[in-house]
Amino acid sequence: MRILPWWLPAGAALAVIAWMWSWFGSPPARWHMFFPLWLGCVLTLDGLVFRRAGSSLLSRSPRRFGVLFLFSVPLWWVFEGANRFLGNWRYVMPTPYGPITYALLASLAFSTVMPAILEMASLLRTTPQLGRRIGGPVLAPRRAGLLAVSALGAVMVALALLLPHHAFPLVWIGVFLVLDPINELFGWNSISAQVRNGRWDTVLTLWAAGLCCGILWELWNWRAAPKWVYEVPFVGRPTIFEMPLLGYGGYLPFALEVYAAYNLLHGLVFRRPDDGWLGIDEAPS
């Protein structure tokens, strides 16, 4: 019988308490529940992985687990910068903050994005459906092809920023297309390397993780304060919580971008590819 890790019940309790306080608690504490809610969720997911598999990101290396939170901050600030042009979402703040305070509080919240996606993917890897190799089309561009894909991604991002009213969805695909070929060219872990061998299980796992996290993000945001709301051209209705229904599709490529950004930042910081610590690149069975 697997040992129940202490951080599983602790994380679940933290998530439930923060969720209830976020929706029904009194200010000012209510205004600061996003980080503890998602920290509790991340710890719960990690504890479930440990319970099912006997190992998890946190148990394998607490230091590298903490690095995920650091890597997450610049990743989401990139999308916040893009949204200055896109205007697809805005934050409803219960009280004004100065620029430094806002940047610090926002960065703390943004730090949970990457751990949430990757922990959810780790948990999904323990299921029979995604805990195996899944084949698919072989896509094997050479160096010139990888450079062309990365350039295409850059063009897509540029179009989204220049023509935000019509081309805004391209940013959610373009960032991945920019980053993943770079990882492949430097010899760091990448989706490109996997689909070169006809492996699609990591793609499917990340897609599922992105959608699961997206539903939780939108659910917990629904009655929170502060919260975000959407202003999306053409597809603003119908909505599930605050998110337009079609907008949930954006969480699929976003999860791939999280994976690509993790491997890029890991390669740049540690000067080597991830050694398998992440645990979602190889199917466990």
The answer, yes or no, to whether residue 285 has pLDDT greater than 80, is no
Strands 89-92, 243-244: pairing is unpaired
Indicate the helix (H) or strand (E) that contains 229: strand 227-230
Helix (H) or strand (E) holding 107: helix 99-110
On whether the pTM is more than 0.75, the answer is yes
Distance CA 242, CA 230 (A): 7
Query: What is the pLDDT at residue 284?
Result: 54
Alpha carbon distance 279, 57 (integer Å)? 8
Q: Say whether the peptide bond before residue 9 is cis (omega within 30 degrees of 0).
A: no
Residues 121-180 pLDDT 10s: 999 999 999 999 999 999 999 999 999 999 999 999 999 999 999 999 999 999 999 999
Beta bridge partners of 240: 243
Q: What is residue 1's predicted lDDT score, i.e. its pLDDT?
A: 58
Six-digit token string for 62: 């607490």
> In whole angstroms, what is the distance from residue 76 CA to residue 73 CA?
6
Residue 18's pLDDT is 98
What integer is the mean pLDDT of 79-99?
96
Cross-strand pairs, 135: 199
Cα–Cα distance, 184 to 45 (Å, whole number): 29
pLDDT of 282 reads: 73
Question: Residues 37-84: pLDDT tens digits?
Answer: 999 999 999 999 999 999 999 999 999 999 999 999 999 999 999 999
Q: If pLDDT is split at 50, 70 and 90, which confidence band does 283 have?
A: low
275 band by pLDDT with thresholds 50, 70 and 90: very high
Distance CA 152, CA 149 (A): 5
pLDDT given at position 120: 98
The tens digit of pLDDT for each residue in 219-262 reads: 999 999 999 999 999 888 899 999 999 999 999 999 999 999 99
